[in-house]
Structure 1
Amino acid sequence: MSKLGFIGAGPVGTAFAVNLSKRDYQIIGIFDVIREAAQRFANDVSRCQIYEKAQDLADSADMVFITTPDDIIPKVADGIKWRTGQSAVHCSGASTVHSLETAREQGAMVGAIHPCQTFAGREQAIANLPGSTFAIESEEPLKTTLTEIARALNGDLVYLTSEDKALYHAAACIACNYFCTLVDIATDLWQNFGKSKAEAAKAYIPLLQGAVNNIASIGFPGCLTGPIARGDVKTIQSHLVALEKYAPDILPLYRELGLKTIPIGIAKGTLSEDKAEELRSLLENELK
């Protein structure tokens, strides 16, 4: 069994180590510049040693996971003396294996395994990691090893090239991070009719869960609901009037999202071409 070590004791590294340890992977140690973070990590993982130096951990491990912020992955990799046959792995969605080039030049195998998942904190990360989709960038034989890790975590797989990574990560940001931004904008609007942001969030949780359930169970385009899916031109017009009055800064975003939603309604079959043209005209005229 390969010996796995981690550099970086944040939520992602902790989630991988805890879950892999439960599946009989040997996690030998952790190094982090913050001693308290390393201690929390070690407390969560059976028989995990705290290393005082990254090099000492790398010397003891067969596979080193660099689970630091993306921008310092190359710096960490550059600071280690690697050995032939060792594996250097990071878990970034945007960074490519080129950030591990120093390790490759010294004879190590390099790869990336990114969980397409949201990690707001340690406990939530540990709970959410199993069952995620894992994006893997590597060459054989490490590619097979990372595939086995993903399957051990009950995950789905997608194999990427370095050229794919930026667009893959941008898409994930749109689906997850900017989803949060949209909900934040929507909840702020409630203050215009005397209700709190907290009340809005509470009201939207079942709505959002229903939307996600529809995507999971029905898929696109059938999951789309709402006025554009129904071709309710007057409803969209009333939205534009209200936003012009209370939140004019949101109007450009609303119009662009509406225009992007029209093709989904057409594909679903509930939005006629005539109504679609009316909606386009309404939304595009507002853009002029």
Structure 2
Amino acid sequence: MGQAVNRPARLAVGVVSAGRVGSVLGAALARAGHTVVAASGVSDASVRRAERLLPGVPLRPPDEVVSSADLVLLALPDDVLAPMVAGLARAGAFRQGQIVVHTCGAHGIDVLRPAVDAGALPLALHPVMTFTGAPEDLQRLDSCTVGVTAADGDDAAWNVGEALTVEMGAEPVRLPAAARPLYHAALSHGANHLATLVADCVELLRRGGVGEPERLLAPLLSAALDNALRHGDRALTGPVARGDTGTVDTHLRVLAERAPELLPAYTALAGRTATRAHRAGLLGQDDAAAITELLDDGREGQ
């Protein structure tokens, strides 16, 4: 766990909204001893999550949730956050002394400017995990990190963000506001595109008549991920990293015939693999050039 931080006073928490993230973080704050006084949520799924994770918490319109809370948790999609904050400010929902937290990875605290103008303390707390909205997410919080951003030079605000993170069971990592767009791009590129890549692999195996492809892939991909995190580029394996142009050519041909929609992704990732393998000293200059030429030919044929 990170450095010791002072615990915040017990706070009245308002959750906007009771989606997968908000409901779980609200439950984590309640577990830490704070009181969730209200939440917003209109969809059937949000209502069910609130009943399961925030039992007894009334569902109210967002402006009423915010006005009733000492700690406002804005668990909203990236593109919804700014207009929601502006609308809540116009409604007079924010007030002096509130703590206003958003959970978006891509934004710093500038998006909370209307709340700051009303006297609120702005924080950005982004949990680095995927959420299902199920109670199990509370246990998963105990092994995740949270990207914490507060105003530059405001040590008290940074300490509050770290303390709230620790209370929810996670480990805080300080993240300057200027780093957040690249930070979020990196996380999305890894987690979101990894899920797409795995789903594509499963689909390819099914097309080839392989039963239960998930069982086939699980140990291989788990080991690949572990090795990559431990050893970086030294963990690169496979025909591209070895310079096996014949095998790569076969891949390009079979994908063009059986799964042409995946060919652009394969050539792009194979190209990055060749570049990284060459830079790490795993792939010689001549072999790297041969692989690159083969991939370029494959792109031209797409």
Calculate the TM-score normalised by the size of structure 1: 0.86
How much is the aligned-residue C-alpha RMSD, in angstroms?
2.5
The match for 1:228 is 240
Correspondence list, 1:20-169, <5 A = 20-22=29-31, 24-34=32-42, 37-38=46-47, 40-41=49-50, 43-45=52-54, 49-50=57-58, 52-77=60-85, 78-79=87-88, 80-139=92-151, 140=154, 141-152=156-167, 153-161=169-177, 163-169=178-184
SS of equivalent to 1:34? coil
Of the three residues 215, 223, 245, the one matched with 2:228 is: 215
Q: CA deviation at 1:85?
A: 1.8
* Residue matched to 1:203: 216
**Secondary structure in 2 aligned to 1:119?**
coil
Check the 8 A contact 1:104/1:110 in 2, yes or no. Answer: yes
Q: Secondary structure at the match of 1:13?
A: helix
Give SS of 2:198's match. helix
Cα 1:240–1:115 change in 2 (3 A) is same
State the partner residue of 2:260: 248
Gaps of 5+ in 2: 1-8
TM-superposition CA deviations, 1:188-211 (whole Å, max 9, x none):
222432235xx2223112222112
1:27/1:45 contact within 8 Å kept? no
The answer on whether the counterparts of 2:98 and 2:121 sit within 8 Å (CA) in structure 1 is: yes
Match of 1:187 among 194, 202, 209: 202
- 1:132-183 Cα distance to aligned partner (Å, 9 max, x none): 222222212322211222334232514131x433332222221111111112
Deviation at 1:258, TM superposition (A): 0.7
SS in 1 for 2:96: coil
| Mapped contact 1:29–1:42 kept (Cα < 8 A) | no
Q: Distance in 1 between matches of 2:175 and 2:33?
A: 23
Change (3 A) 1:42 1:75: farther
Instruction: Confirm or deny: 8 A CA contact 1:221 1:264 kept in the other structure.
Output: yes
| CA distance in 1 between partners of 2:208 and 2:60 (Å) | 56
Relative distance call for 1:256 and 1:72 in structure 2 (3 A) is closer
* Rounded Cα–Cα distance in structure 1 between residues aligned with 2:77 and 2:133: 15
How has the CA–CA distance of structure 1 residues 68 and 86 changed in structure 2, closer, same or farther, with 3 Å as cutoff? Answer: same
CA contact (8 A) 1:14 1:126 kept: no
Q: Using the alignment, how far apart are the partners of 2:37 and 2:51 within structure 1?
A: 7
Total equivalences in the alignment: 282
Q: Within 2, Cα distance between the matches of 1:265 and 1:64? A: 47
Q: Which has the higher contact order (CA 8 A, sep 6+)?
A: 2
Distance 1:240 1:137, change over 3 A: same
**CA offsets per residue over residues 81-108 of structure 1, 9 Å max, x none?**
2211211111011234233222111111
Give, in angstroms, the shift of residue 223 of structure 1: 2.3
Identity within the alignment, %: 27
Q: Is the 8 A contact 1:31 1:52 kept in 2?
A: yes
